[in-house]
Amino acid sequence: MNIVYSLFLLISVVVSAQQTASTVVKGNISSYSHELEGVYVVNSRTEKTVISNEKGDFVIPAEKGDTIVFAMFQYNRVTVILTDKHFGIDGLQVKMAPIINQLNEVVIKNYSHINAVSLGIIAADQRSYSPAERKLKSASDYDPSANAGSMAGGSVGLDPLINMFSGRTAMLKKELVVEKKEHYMIQLKNMFNEFHFVNKLNIPAIYVKGFMYYAVENVSFTKVMDTDNKISIEFLLAQLAEKYLKIIKEEK
């Protein structure tokens, strides 16, 4: 009698263990080469929800035939209907792919009309200064009233005088001259390509850059460039080209 009872008890434990094992599914979630943490794992039948850990592992109550949904922001949703193999040793291995958004077209708009003047930050008739001009202005403007204020603990107005005697103002003036020449060089490049210099002005290709520097060194030419009159600029540029070609010939 005891033997029968013990056998019955053993069978009951085994069956109970099998039922317990079958009511829980384990698995791992990954994307390409790394595990996914924070994935929502939902049993659609029971609405039970768990979240995968830092290793991508999860355990959720489920039975054969249940539908398990895996969802995560910026990843495509995965749905799995459980079968016997999902309750095995390997469990449920899920691969999730990130959502890739494709642009049908890219529209590039020109917002050059939006500036400090259009936004009302500065007045339309207010002069704008280049970086070198701003440095020179701040270093060389002497305000006697500011100096008087410094006597009473206000701002110091002697900085421009100190800059002048220390040579800083002179240095900033040189920087301003260099900046203007660089501006004229860019303006020339935008107005005339290398073909114009070589084929119309007969400047050898290896001398084109040197000729451009020669042109922007000419004060009369830079004054004409400030007018943005292309006809006048082109006419004077041709005259300078003739002089430059003579210089090249004499050097040779």
Which domains are assigned to the chain? 24-95 (2.60.40.1120), 128-175 (no CATH), 192-252 (no CATH)
Closest CA to 56 of 27, 76, 22: 27
Note whether 29 and 94 are within 8 A (CB): yes
What are 171's two structure tokens?
């240095």
Integer angstrom CA distances of residue 237 from 198, 199, 203: 13, 14, 11
Max avg pLDDT among 52-56, 88-92, 123-127, 186-190: 52-56
pLDDT in the model for residue 105: 67
DSSP secondary structure letter of residue 46: T
The first and second tokens of residue 222, run together, are 């830079």
CA 231 – CA 225 distance, rounded (Å): 10
pLDDT category of residue 249 using cuts at 50, 70 and 90: confident
Of 127, 115, 248, 240, the closest CA to residue 188 belongs to 240
- Residue 121: what pLDDT? 59
Q: What is the pLDDT of residues 9-49, one digit of tens each?
A: 445 544 444 444 458 999 999 998 789 999 999 999 999 99
Tell me what the mean pLDDT of segment 119-146 comes to: 57
Q: How far is CA 90 from CA 22, 34, 57, 66, 193, in A?
A: 14, 18, 12, 18, 69
CB environment 214-243: b (16+ within 10 A), e (fewer):
bbbebeebbebbeeeeeeebeebbeebbee
Give strand pairing partners of 92: 27
pTM value surpassing 0.85: no
Provide the pairing of β-strand 49-51 with 92-95. unpaired
Q: How far is CA 210 from CA 97, 170, 248, in A?
A: 58, 26, 11
* pLDDT value, residue 228: 82
pLDDT score of 102 more than 80:
no
Tell me which residue has tokens 């049908």. 104
State how beta strands 92-95 and 67-71 pair: unpaired
Residue 66 to residue 46: CA distance in whole angstroms: 9
